[in-house]
Amino acid sequence: MQAVSQTREGLLLVSLNFRSRTIAATLTATILLPFSAPLPAAETGNPTVAEYRAVISPILEKHCYECHGDGYDKGKVAFDSLETDQQIQEPELWLRVLLNTRAGLMPAEQKPRLNLVEQAQLERWIKYSVFKIDARNPDPGRVTVRRLNRVEYRNTVRDLLGVDYNTDHEFPPDDTGFGFDNIGDALTTSPMLMEKYVAAAQTIVAQAVPAAPSKPAEQIVKGAAFEGQNARLRWGKRQLQFHEPANVSANFKTELAGSYRVKFDLEVNGSYFPDPGKARVILKIDGKEFLKQEFAYHDEKSYVFESTHKWQPSEHTLSIELQPTIPPLKKETIIDLFVNKVTIEGPLEKSQWVKTENYERYFPRPVPAGAKQRRAYATELLGAFAAKAYRRPLTQADDDTAERLAKLAEDHYREPGKTFEQGVAHAMAAVLSSPRFLFRLEAPAAHALNAQVADVDEYSLASRLSYFLWSTMPDEQLMSLAARRELRNNLSTQVKRMLADPRAENFARNFTGQWLQARDVEGIASNPREIHIRDAGEEGSLRDLRKAWRNQDEATAKRLAEYIDRLVDAKPEFDGDMRKAMRRETEMFFGHVVSEDRPVTDLIDSNYIFVNDKLALLYGLPDITGPEMRKVTLPAGSPRGGMLTQGSALFVTSNPDRTSPVKRGLFVLANFLGTPPPPPPANVPALEASEEDFKGHDPVLRDILKVHRENPACASCHNRMDPIGLAFENFNALGMWRDTERKQPIETQGNLITGETFTSVAELKRILAQDHRQEFYATLTRKLLTYASGRGTEYYDVETIDGIVKRLNANDGRFSSLLMGVIESAPFQKMRIQATATVAN
Amino acid sequence: MNTLLAAQRHASFSRRHFFQGMGACIALPAFSSLAHGASRSAPTRMAVVYVPNGAIPAAFWPAGEAGGAFELSPTLSPLAKVHQQLQVISGLTDLSANAGPDGAGDHARASGTFLTGVRIKKTAGSDIRAGVSIDQVIANQIGHLTRFSSLELTCDAVRKSGDCDSGYACAYEYNLAWRSHNQPLSPEHNPRFVFERLFGTGSPRERVGNLKRRQADQKSILDFVLADARSVKAKLDGRDKQKLDQYLTSVREIEQRIENSTRMSVKNPDIDAPAGIPDGYQEHVALMFDMLALAFQTDSTRVATMLMSREGSNRSFADIGIASGHHDLTHHKNSPEIIEKVKLIDRWYMQRLAGFLEKMQNTEDVDGKSLLDHSMILYGSGNADGNRHTHEDLPIVLAGGGSGVLKPGRFIKASGVPITNLFLTMADGMGAKGVESHGDSTGRLNV
C-alpha cells in the first residue's frame, strides 16, 4: 500500500506540474481504482481508455455520430477519430461534452437525448477517469499571486491609514481576465504603475501621518456657511456664478490673542467648452480688501489665497464679492466660482500650539530624546505598521523588516529640517511600495494535507475572505482570530458578521458590477435623443430637418426641430443621476438577495425591484417620489423583476443608438446559462442587407436579424442568441418599455434552442428560472468561484461546482448555500504546495 | 443640446472642424535653452499612432505611381498641409493577426500583434503571451539617452467590464507596447499625469524642484523595496516569480530614470499643466498629442506609442452626427449609407493626426529644422478592412523626415511585405543596432 500511495502522490505531482498526459496516462491505474466502475478487460492497459472503448464509445455512437462521427466533424469534433490514449483523455474536449450534454444543447434539437443512466455513466467517466478528480480531496488549483487592483488598493489604504486616495483617477485601469479585475494572472505591473505606486505612497503618508506632535489650532469655515446675495449651493459647496453679481459673507471667532493665518480655498469650475467669460473677485477680512483679481474660465482649478493677521479675542467677518466683467458667451456654458472653505490657523506662536489630530494613532508615546531610543521606538512603530500592512505578522526568524525600516526612517529624520515623525512616515511609504503590501502573498498552513495540497494558513484565509467580501484588508477581528488559528473554525459566524458590515457593499459593487457589467453603466456612450427618435420612427423627420437646414429653409427647420424636441422632451431625462440609479438598483438588488438570503433565482425573476423617483419614471411605475432608492413590490403582470430587465442590464447590452438583441441574447447565455455560443467565425461574410429590402417601412431589428437565420453560417449560433434577445425588444436601449419600434408592433415570441417556446419576456424568465435552474446555479457558481479564487475555473473544478449546485438544490437555492459552498471549497480553503514552498514572509 | 443645434452642427460639420483644427490646445513654448545644449544635431524621434477598426480601403488609398508623388485620398485629405512629409505605404501585412487555428478575435489580435509581430496566445487571462514590441526593442537600446525610455499614451479613459474580444484577455486590446512577452505597458490616459510625470507637479516655477525632491526620497524607498522583492521572489516559482520579475524590472527602470535625471536637465516648459481629461474626445486627443509633442520637443523621450482608442472600439461620434458605434458601423453590410459614416470617422481620426503633424511641423528643433523633420510617425491599424477583418494591405501612413533617413512625399507600393520589415527599417533610423529580425519580419523594407 505504501508503494501505491507514493506512486499516486508522485503521479499527481507530475500531472499537476507538467500536465503531461502521457505520463499521467501510463500511471492512471493506481489512482483511479477506488472511483471507477469495475472495468472490462483492458486491451491497452489503460483503464480510462478501456472504459472509453467498452462503455462510453457505444453511447457516443448511438447519440452523437450523426454529427460527430462517420465522416462528420461538426464543430471540429469527431469522436471516431480519437485514436491515441492522449486524444481519448483530452480534458478540454470532455469538459465541453459534459457541459453541452448537461445543458441539453447536445445531442442537438431533434435527436434523442442520453437517458439518465447513460448520462450518469458519461459524467462519472469524465469526472473521475478523464479528469482524475479525487472527490475527497479535490485539486484546489493554482492561483497566481494577486496584485491589489485599484479598488482593493484604495480600500486597503483607507482602512490602514484613513486616507481616501482616488485610484480610479490616479492609476491606470487594471487588465481583466475571465471577466474580472482581480485575476492574478491578468494583473501585471508596469514601470509606470510602479512609479505611481511610489508617488501614491509618498502622497498618502504625507496626508495621513502628522509631521510634528503639535501645531497651530485650526478652524474651518465651510463654503456653505457663506450667506448673502446670489449664494447658490451645489455639491455642498457655496457656488457663485460668473454671470451674476454675488456678495456673501461668514463669521468666525478668535478666542486667544496672537497671529493668525487665513487661507481662502476657492475653485473655478467651468462646464464643457472653454469660454471667454470673466469675473472680478474681491476678498475682504473684517471689511478690509486683501485681494482683487479677475478670474477666467478653467474646467477645474483650485486657488488658495493666504494672509496673516494679529488679532485679539474677537469676532471677524470674511466676505467674498463677485462682479461679472465679461459675461459667459454661450448659454449652455456655466462658469462657477466655488467657495470650498476658509481655514484659520492660529495662534501661530509655538507656545499656543495644540496637539496634532490623529497624532496618537501613529505615535502613541512622546518621541524619546536619545538616538538609540529613537531608533528603538521607530523599530517598534514600523514593525507593527508593516505587519498590519502586509496582513501577517513579521514573525519569521530571519525577518529584519522592522530594523531595515527603522534604518530607513533614521537616515531620513537625520537630514536637516526633518522631524522624527517625517522619518517614520518616509519608511511607511516604503512599506506601501513593497511587494509584500502590493501583492497578496499566501502561505500554506504548517501541516500539509498531503504532498501536494495544504490548507492556506489562517492569515491567507483572512485575506481571502476580506478581499472577497469587502475588497479590502482583514480587520482586527479577522487578524486576531487568525493569530489564534480560530478563523477556520468560525467561518460561518465571521461570514455573517462580514456581510452585515457596510464594507460588504464592495461585494455587490465589484462582483455584480462585473458579472453583469453594472459598473459600466456610468461610463458607456449612449445617445438618448437618437434612441427616442428611432423608436418613434421619426428618423425621416430628422433627415428632413438636416436637409432644411442645409437649404437654409429656416421655417421648416424650426418646425421640425420643435416637433422632435417635443417628442424627446416628453421622455424622462437620461442623465448621470439616472445612470447612477441604475447601477445602485443592481447593487442593492444583489445586496438584498445576499442579506435576506433569498433564492438566487430571484436574480432572474422577482416580484420586487429597487427604484427611486427617476428610475420609477423610466420604468413607468407611478407614485414614487424622492431620490432615495427603495424596495418596491411590483404590480401583478409587471414585466420587470429580476436582474435581466433592470435598466443596467438592458442599457449595457445596447448600442449607442439602438438595442442589440444579439448582445442581449449573448448576455443571457454567457452570464445566466453558461452556454455562450462560440465567437463568430474569423471572417464574417458580408451581409447584403440594404434597407430597401424592407418595402414600406424602416426595418425593425427582427427583420434585420432574419438575415442571420437565413444564412446557414450564422444560423447555428444566432438561433441560440437572437430569439432570447428579441424577447427583450419591448425594452428600448435605455431600458424603457415600448410597444412599437419604428411604428411597427414588437413581436417577442420565440423559442430556445433546447425546445421551450415563449411569447413574452415574462415567460422567458419563468423558463430560465425553472427549466434551466441547474445551468443557472452552475453558471452563477462558476462566476462567484472565479471572483473569489482569483483564477479562471478549470476542468477539475467541476467537482467543486457540482458540490455547490447540489447544496443550492438542497437549500431552495438560498444565497448562503452558494456563498458558504464557495468559501468552504477547496479552491478557497487550500493551495497547491510547490516544489519550493511559497512563504509569504 | 437641442435638435436644431445638433442639425446645425451636423450640417456645418466641415467648416466647424476646420476652425477647431486651427486653434491648438497648448502653444508649445520656444526653447532657446535647447539650442545651447552640448550638441546641435537633433535626435530622431519615433511614435506609433494606432487607430482601431481599420479604414474603408477605397477612401483611404491615394492615386499615384509606385515610388512617386501621390494625390491625397478623401480619407487622407486632412493632411494637406503636411503632404510633402508623408509616405503612404500599401501592401503591408500583419499575418500574425489572421485567425489560423485560433478562430474569432481579430480585433484583439490586430492590436496585440501590431507592434509585436508574433501570434498572441488565445487566453481569457491565465497565460497572456505576446512578444516584445518594436518600440521597446528600440527603447532598450536608446532609452538611456533620455529621461524616459519610452512613453505610452491612450485616449481611452473608460474600460468595459467583463470579457473582451472572443476569448482574448483585454490586455491585448488595451495595450500596444509590450516590455516582455507577458508584460504589457499600460498606457496613461490623463494628459495631466503625462505632464506631471515629465515635468513634476506644482506651479511652473516649483515643479522641477518638486520633482527632484520626490525623486531623492524615492531612491531610498526603492532600495528598501528591492530587498523586499528579492527575498520574496526567492521563495516563489512559476508564474508567481514572473509577477515579481515584472515588479523588479519596473523598480529598476525607475531607479534608472532617477539616475538619468541627475545627469540630464529637465527642460521645463513655462506653462500650466493641463487640468485633467477634457470632456470631449476630440479635445482629449488633441491635448494628448500636445503632450506627445512636448515630450519630443523637450527630448524627454524619443520613443512613444499612442493608442487612439482600443482595437474594436465602439465609440460614437455625436459631434459629426454619428450616433452609432464605430465597430458596429464597420460591419457595414455594404450599405452605402453606413460606409459613408465609417469614412467620416476615418477622416475624423485623420484630422486628429493632421493637427499633431502640423504642430510638429511648426515647432522648431535645435538645428532650426522642424520637429517633424526629425521624426518618424507611423499611423495605422492592424486591421485593414474592418468589415472583413483583413490584415493585409494595412492602412499605413509614415510621416516625417526621420532626420534625413526617410524620403517623404512618395507612395510606396509594397506587396505582401510584413509590416515588421518596416519596423526594422525604423529601428535602423532610430539608431538601434543589430536588430536583425522582429516577429515575422523577412528583411528590411526599403523606404
Which pLDDT tens digit goes with each residue over A749-802?
Answer: 999 988 899 999 999 999 999 999 999 999 999 999 999 999 999 999 999 999
Cα nearest neighbour of A656 on chain B: B324
Verify whether the Cβ–Cβ distance B103 to A441 is below 8 Å: no
CB atoms near residue B145 (< 10 Å):
14
Question: Which residues in A lie closer than 8 A to residue B253 (C-beta atoms)?
Answer: 191, 194
pLDDT of residue B19: 31
- Phi, psi (rounded to 5 degrees) for B377: -110, 110
**Grid cell for residue B340:** 459613408
Q: How far is residue A123's CA from residue A108's CA, in Å, rounded to a whole number?
A: 18
Q: How far is residue A600's CA from residue A612's CA, in Å, rounded to a whole number?
A: 24
CA of A190, closest CA in chain B: separation in Å? 5
pLDDT of residue B202: 84
Contact status, residue A706 vs residue A678, Cβ threshold 8 Å: no
pLDDT of residue A302: 83
pLDDT of residue A35: 41
Write the residue in A299, A514, A561 that is nearest to B7 by C-beta: A561
> B445: closest CA among B378, B382, B365, B346?
B378
Q: What's CA A609's distance to the chain center, in Å?
A: 21
- A266-282: pLDDT as tens digits: 998 876 567 788 899 99
A837 by Cβ neighbours in 10 Å (0-12 / 13-18 / 19+) ranks as middle
Question: Which residues in B lie closer than 8 A to residue A557 (C-beta atoms)?
Answer: 4, 7
pLDDT of residue B205: 84
pLDDT of residue B36: 43
CA of B118, closest CA in chain A: separation in Å? 18
> A215: closest CA among A122, A304, A348, A306?
A348
State the DSSP H helix or E strand holding residue A461, giving kind and residue range, or none if neither: helix A458-469
For residue A347, cis peptide bond before it (omega within 30 degrees of 0): yes
pLDDT at A118 over 80: yes
Average pLDDT in chain A: 88
Describe the crossing of helices A815-823 and A773-789 by its angle, rounded to 10 degrees: 40
Contact status, residue A258 vs residue A329, Cβ threshold 8 Å: no
Q: How far is CA A29 from CA A24, A47, A634, B1, in A?
A: 9, 6, 59, 73
Question: Which residues in A lie closer than 8 A to residue B160 (C-beta atoms)?
Answer: 517, 520, 523-524
The more confident residue out of B263 and A625 is A625
pLDDT at A836 over 80: no
User: What is the DSSP secondary-structure string of B3-54?
Assistant: HHHHHHHHHTHHHHHHHHHHS-SSPPPP-HHHHTSS--SPPPEEEEEE-TT-
Q: Residues with Cβ < 8 Å from B404, sequence gap 6 or more?
A: none
pLDDT at B437 over 90: yes
- Phi, psi (rounded to 5 degrees) for A810: -75, -10
pLDDT of residue A661: 94
Q: How far is CA B417 from CA B91, B131, B311, B428, in A?
A: 6, 20, 22, 18
Query: What is the four-CA torsion angle of A506, A507, A508, A514, rounded to 10 degrees?
Result: 100
Verify whether the Cβ–Cβ distance B220 to A186 is below 8 Å: no
**Grid cell for residue A561:** 426641430
What's the pLDDT band for B4 if we cut at 50, 70, 90? low
Verify whether the Cβ–Cβ distance A433 to B221 is below 8 Å: yes
Angle, CA of A369, A371 and A377, to the nearest 5° = 80
pLDDT of residue B38: 45
> B43: closest CA among B409, B289, B365, B377?
B365
Q: Is the pTM of this model over 0.80?
A: yes
Write the residue in A187, A408, A679 that is nearest to B220 by C-beta: A408
- A589-616: pLDDT as tens digits: 999 999 999 999 999 999 999 999 999 9
Q: What is the mean pLDDT of residues A625-642?
A: 95
pLDDT at A694 over 80: no
pLDDT of residue A29: 34
Q: How far is CA A394 from CA A401, A653, A841, B261, in A?
A: 8, 48, 7, 36
pLDDT of residue A387: 96
CB atoms near residue B95 (< 10 Å):
17
pLDDT of residue B15: 31
Verify whether the Cβ–Cβ distance A564 to B3 is below 8 Å: yes
- A286-342: pLDDT as tens digits: 999 989 999 988 767 889 999 999 999 999 999 999 999 987 776 555 788 999 999
Residue of A92, A145, A302 to mutate, testing the B interface (most B Cβ within 10 Å of its Cβ): A145
CA of A259, closest CA in chain B: separation in Å? 27
Cα nearest neighbour of A543 on chain B: B7
Verify whether the Cβ–Cβ distance A527 to B316 is below 8 Å: yes
- B303-339: pLDDT as tens digits: 999 999 999 999 999 888 898 899 999 999 888 999 9
Verify whether the Cβ–Cβ distance A690 to B249 is below 8 Å: no
Cα nearest neighbour of A678 on chain B: B166
Percent of chain A's residues with pLDDT above 70: 90
CB atoms near residue A432 (< 10 Å):
25
Question: Which residues in B lie closer than 8 A to residue A560 (C-beta atoms)?
Answer: 3
The more confident residue out of A12 and B288 is B288
The more confident residue out of B67 and A679 is B67
What are the residues facing B180 on neighbouring strands?
A: B183
Verify whether the Cβ–Cβ distance A194 to B4 is below 8 Å: no
Verify whether the Cβ–Cβ distance B174 to A173 is below 8 Å: yes
Q: How far is residue A726's CA from residue A705's CA, in Å, rounded to a whole number?
A: 9
Write the residue in A191, A272, A837 that is nearest to B253 by C-beta: A191
- A611-630: pLDDT as tens digits: 999 999 999 999 999 999 99
State the DSSP H helix or E strand holding residue B147, giving kind and residue range, or none if neither: none
DSSP single-letter state for residue A348: -
pLDDT of residue A828: 98
What are the residues facing A222 on neighbouring strands?
A: A341
Average pLDDT in chain B: 89
Write the residue in A515, A687, A839 that is nearest to B333 by C-beta: A687
> A60: closest CA among A45, A35, A40, A77?
A77
Q: Residues with Cβ < 8 Å from B73, sequence gap 6 or more?
A: B59, B60, B61, B62, B63
The more confident residue out of B2 and A549 is A549
Three-state SS at A295? strand
Write the residue in A186, A517, A837 that is nearest to B171 by C-beta: A186
> A223: closest CA among A113, A383, A341, A83?
A341
Question: Which residues in A lie closer than 8 A to residue B218 (C-beta atoms)?
Answer: 198-199, 202
Q: How far is residue B413's CA from residue B90's CA, in Å, rounded to a whole number?
A: 5
Three-state SS at B360? helix
CB contacts < 8 A, A to B, total 301
CB atoms near residue A697 (< 10 Å):
12
Question: Which residues in A lie closer than 8 A to residue B190 (C-beta atoms)?
Answer: 169
What's the pLDDT band for B31 if we cut at 50, 70, 90? low
**Grid cell for residue B59:** 477612401
Does the interface predicted TM-score (ipTM) exceed 0.85? yes
Q: Residues with Cβ < 8 Å from B327, sequence gap 6 or more?
A: B52, B53, B107, B312, B313, B314, B386
Phi-psi region of A485 (alpha: psi -120 to 50; beta: other; left: phi over 0): left
Q: How many CA atoms lie within 13 A of A825 on its CB side?
A: 32
Question: Which residues in B lie closer than 8 A to residue A686 (C-beta atoms)?
Answer: 333-334, 387-388
**Grid cell for residue A40:** 472490462
> A96: closest CA among A776, A670, A674?
A674
- Phi, psi (rounded to 5 degrees) for B401: -95, -15
**Grid cell for residue A413:** 529624520
Question: Which residues in B lie closer than 8 A to residue A332 (C-beta atoms)?
Answer: 1
- A175-222: pLDDT as tens digits: 899 999 999 999 999 999 999 999 999 999 999 999 999 999 999 999
pLDDT of residue A271: 67
Write the residue in B7, B159, B185 that is nearest to A192 by C-beta: B185
Contact status, residue B415 vs residue B91, Cβ threshold 8 Å: yes
Q: What is the mean pLDDT of residues A678-695?
A: 58
**Grid cell for residue A293:** 483679481
Least confident of A27-41, A212-226, B80-94: A27-41
pLDDT at A737 over 70: yes
pLDDT of residue B28: 66
CA of B272, closest CA in chain A: separation in Å? 11
Q: How far is residue A611's CA from residue A746's CA, in Å, rounded to a whole number?
A: 26
pLDDT at A110 over 90: no
pLDDT of residue A590: 97
Verify whether the Cβ–Cβ distance B229 to A434 is below 8 Å: yes
- Output Rg (C-alpha) for chain A, integer angstroms: 33
pLDDT of residue B334: 86
Verify whether the Cβ–Cβ distance B125 to A172 is below 8 Å: no
CA of A144, closest CA in chain B: separation in Å? 5
pLDDT of residue A333: 59
Query: What is the four-CA torsion angle of A623, A625, A628, A633, rounded to 10 degrees?
Result: -10
CA of B203, closest CA in chain A: separation in Å? 12
